[in-house]
Amino acid sequence: MTDRDILMRKIATYDFAIVELNLYLDTHPKDLDAHRKLEDYESKSLELREFYEEKYGPIVFRNSPDNRMKWIKNPWPWDLCEGD
Amino acid sequence: MWVYEKKLQYPINIKNPNAALAKIIISQYGGPDGELGASLRYLSQRYTMPYPELKAILTDIGTEELAHLEMVGTIVYQLTKNLTPEQIKEAGMDAYFVDHTAGIYPSSAAGTPYTAASMQSKGDVLTDLHENLAAEQKARTTYDNILRFCDDPDVIDPIRFLRAREVVHYQRFGEGLRIATDNLDSKNFYAFNASFDKCCKNNKN
């Protein structure tokens, strides 16, 4: 597994916790403990996302000539790790 | 509206192609209990939901289903990569291949193209939530059946993740149903259709 894959797996782990807490809070909006956990995971994900986007290109697209080239570039999410 | 994230919800990296598996897993892309139908069902039902928590949960689960659709598409794509026509024929995928080559097409395992006839948007809060509870269980059974045919850990792992999500969504819809009935007349939940009849929308809205 490449460094890039390992980093993406860490991001996906935090993002999964975010998705899960977000659904939970839709039906339990007053659970402050869950709110705190969500905020914690959001800041951890953001930190890793900034590092990833700086190194490998955008996860969410923001326009600039440099970003456009990185956005277009392989791998796309369905591509195999080998980068073919 | 939506914004795309250039990432999968859960990592998928399948090293060994297997057309026989792809042929059955395609059902969760475009089959009767697949992710496309799930997403379309929830994102269509949400418009007439009478309570704000239900609009939120249908929007958020409907959105997560789109991420699952992408995961199933990725599994089928990687399982059919670099196969020869002979390997495809041997695996029984030739009937799919003749119409779609290795393209990802929403159909059931038996080859029926995706049809909205396998889902419902009834415009009745209780009916729609029960439809969704059943839909999550049907999808969970389909993943259980897919797992009966899987022996590759690269495939088993993301399929187990998707199966677990069905169970969580079922739980959230159960809570949604509780929120709906808490807003209704406990002596007769069916006195009105809260998604349509204005008279029964209470002040919680």
B1 interface with A at CB cutoff 8 Å: no
Q: Taking the C-alpha atoms of A20, A14, B68 and B53 in order, what is their torsion angle to the nearest 10 degrees?
A: 30
In this predicted structure, the answer to whether residue B198 has a pLDDT above a threshold of 90 is no
Average pLDDT over residues B162-189: 97
Average pLDDT over residues B49-59: 97
Write down the mean pLDDT value for chain A.
Answer: 94
Contacts of residue A53 in chain B, CB cutoff 8 Å?
A: none
Q: Determine the Cα–Cα distance for residues A77 and A65; give it in Å rounded to an integer.
A: 22
Cβ atoms of B71 and B158 within 8 Å: the answer is yes
Task: Report residue B58: phi and psi, to 5°.
Answer: -70, -40
B7 interface with A at CB cutoff 8 Å: yes
Amino acid at A42: E
Please tell me which of the candidates A23, A57, A76 has its beta carbon nearest to residue B61. Answer: A23
CB contact under 8 A, A29 and B175: no
Give the per-residue pLDDT at A26.
Answer: 98
How much is the ipTM here?
Answer: 0.95
pTM of the model: 0.95
Q: Determine the Cα–Cα distance for residues B167 and B164; give it in Å rounded to an integer.
A: 5
> What confidence category does residue A82 fall into, taking pLDDT thresholds of 50, 70 and 90?
low
CB contact under 8 A, A77 and B7: yes
> What confidence category does residue A84 fall into, taking pLDDT thresholds of 50, 70 and 90?
very low
Give the per-residue pLDDT at B200.
Answer: 59
